[in-house]
Amino acid sequence: MEESSQIVHLTISPQEWQCIVPTGKTLLEASLAAGIRLPSSCRNGTCRACMCQLIEGKIRYRIEWPGLSAEEKQASWILPCVAEAEGAVVIRAPLAVKV
């Protein structure tokens, strides 16, 4: 159970804001808990409002096929509302704001 005790960090670029991503939380949930609002709407991977680019790291999705095309996935676009970190992650989300 080492993985569950690992501290995982999310960095939001270009602002260089950071937060911790608790095990079992999505990138969107973790950022909101840290006072950082990413654009979002549905929170279930269909509306694409939260779409941003994965710059570094690896994620896994809570759902089998989130609302991204194969080409978008290959270009490192992700949906943070249904994405969980598998280690340190850096995303590019220029519309993120502190709340």
- Count of domains observed in the chain: 1
SS3 of 18, please?
strand
The domain containing residue 30 runs over which residues?
2-98
Q: Do 57 and 90 touch, CB atoms closer than 8 A?
A: yes
Q: Residue 66 and residue 61: Cα distance in Å, rounded? A: 7
- The CATH number covering residue 59 comes to 3.10.20.30
Which pLDDT does position 24 carry in this prediction? 93
Over residues 2-29, mean pLDDT:
89
Which pLDDT does position 94 carry in this prediction? 97
pLDDT in tens, 21-77: 999 999 999 999 999 999 999 999 999 999 999 999 999 999 987 889 999 999 999
Phi, psi for 63 (deg, rounded to 5) = -115, 155
Report pTM. Answer: 0.91
Going by their DSSP bridges, the two strands 89-92 and 9-13 should be labelled as parallel
